[in-house]
Amino acid sequence: MQEVRIDAVPLQRLELLLPPARVEMLEQTAVHARALLAGRTVWNLNSTAHGGGVAEMLQVLLSYGRGAGVDTRWLVIEGDPAFFAITKRVHNLLHGAPGDGGELGSAEIRHFLEVSEANAVVATAMIRPGDVVLLHDPQTAGLVAPLVELGAHVAWRCHIGSGMVTRETERGWGFLRPLIEPAHAFVFSRPSYVPEWLPPERVRIIAPSIDPFSTKNVTLEPAEVGATLRRAGLVDLPEDGGSLAFGRRDGTTGSVREHTGLLLGDRPIPAAARMVLQVCRWDRLKDMSGVLTGVAARLGELPSDVHLLLAGPDVRGVVDDPEGAAVFETCANLRAELPAPARARLHLALLPMDDPDENAHLVNALQRHATVVLQKSLAEGFGLTVTEPMWKSKPVLASAVGGIPDQIEDGVSGVLLHDPNDLGAMVRLLGQLLGDPGRGASLGAAAHERVRDYFLGDRHLVQWVQLFDAVTASARPRRPARA
C-alpha cells in the first residue's frame, strides 16, 4: 500500500475567485472542521495516485484540507491484474454495460477478498479508532468491514453509476452490497445512482469539482500553450517565446520535456488546423473508437482545416484499468485502415504518465488550444473531462449521459448529444459549432460561469465537512435532557 504525499495549500488561494458569501461559508466551515476533527485523521483510500478524475480531486481537496488545519492522508491500495480485472468488471456493470462479460462468482469473490484482506492488514495498522475514512469506488469495498470493526468512521464513496436498474447494474450491486452495507455513510454524485436498498438517512449526494489553480486548470498564456505543444511534438506551432515551465503539486517548478512519438505515427498537427479534442482514459465507455469511426466516415462534412485528436494516458502507466491497452489498440487499428488523407487529419496521442504533473500540464495546453472539445461517452459517472474545458471557456459537445447534463445546459453552456450512438448527429452538431465561432464563444463564456457557480472546490469541501459531521455524530456524547 502506498501513501501519497500531500502538501498543504491555503484556502485563501481558492477564496480569490469566490464571492464574499462563499468565502464566509468556507472560513466558517474550516473553523468547524478543525474543532470536529481535532485528534482525528481523515483518510482517503483509492486504487491509483494518478490517472483519472478521482485521483486528481483527492490531490486538490486533501491539500486544501491540510491548508485548513485538518490532518488529511491518502493511501493507494495494491492489487494484481486479476483483482483489477474484477473491479473493472464491476465498474462497467454499475454503468449498465456488460463490459468483458466475465464471471463474478465464488472464485472472483474469493480473490477480491484475499487482496482486500492483504490491504486491510496494512490499513488497520495505520488507521486509528475514531479516525474518519473515505473509501472510493469498488476497489476499496472489501475494506469497509475491517475498518468499521476497527472503530473508524467509514464512508464509502461511489463515483460511478447508472440512472437505470438493469440486469447489469443488479449484478454489479449484488457483488458489492454485502461488502459495503456496514459503512456508516454512502456518497454518490447523483441521486439516480443510489441503490434503493440503501438507507436514505445514510446517503449523501456530493458532485465532483475541479480546482482552478491545479496544473491541469491554471490559466496559461497563448505563448505558453504554443511552447508546450511544440516541445511535446503535438502541434507544429511557431516559436513565440513562451515558457515551458509548469507548477508541480509539491510547490516546485517543472519544465516540459522534449517528446517524440506521443502521436501515433504522425508529424505534429499543423499550426493552422482547428483542433477537435477528446481527452480521457482509454475506456470502452468513453467510446474513443466511436468518435474516430464517426468522424472518419463523415470527414467531408467538416471544414478541411479541422483535425481530430484523441488523447489519453500512456496505457503502460495506468495499472488499475486493464481495458486501456485493448481500447487503444482498437483505435490504432481502425486508424491504420483509413486512407492516407484521412489519417493525416485523425490523430491518436499517448500522453506520458511517468510525470503526472507534466501530464496535467499537457492536457491543460491541449484543452486550451482546442477549438471544440468532445466527450462522447456511452456512460459517465460525472465527467470532469467536461468540467475542465468548460472552465477554460471552450464550447463542449458531450453525450447526455450520467452527470454531464448536470453540468451542460443544452444550447446555453454547451451542446448535448442526446443519443451517444448517433454518429451522424455527433458530426452534424460538431459541424454547426465549427461553422459558427460566435456561438462557440458564447457557449464557452456561459460554461465558465456555470463551473464557477457550481463545480469549484469550496462547495465540495463544505459538503465533505457536513459528511464528517454526520459519520462522527454517533460517537459524540449526548447532552443530558433538560429537567
pLDDT 10s digits, 276-317: 999 999 999 999 999 999 999 999 999 999 999 999 999 886
CATH number of 2-209+456-475: 3.40.50.2000
Q: Give the model's pLDDT for residue 316.
A: 80
Q: Give the model's pLDDT for residue 482.
A: 38
DSSP string over 360-412: HHHHHHHHHH-SEEEE--SS-SS-HHHHHHHHTT--EEEES-TTHHHH--BTT
Q: Give the model's pLDDT for residue 249.
A: 79
- Who's near 312: CB < 8 A, 6+ residues apart? 279, 280, 281, 282, 288, 324, 328, 349, 350, 351
Q: Give the model's pLDDT for residue 319.
A: 61
Q: Give the model's pLDDT for residue 478.
A: 39
Q: Give the model's pLDDT for residue 51.
A: 67
Q: Which CATH architecture has domain 222-454?
A: 3-Layer(aba) Sandwich (3.40)
Q: Give the model's pLDDT for residue 475.
A: 54
Strands (E), 226-367: 235-236, 245-247, 253-255, 269-270, 274-279, 306-313, 346-351
**Same-fold call for 2-209+456-475 versus 222-454:** yes
Domain locations along the chain: 2-209+456-475, 222-454
Residue ranges in the chain whose pLDDT is less than 70: 51, 317-320, 474-483
Q: pTM of the prediction?
A: 0.89
Q: Give the model's pLDDT for residue 442.
A: 98
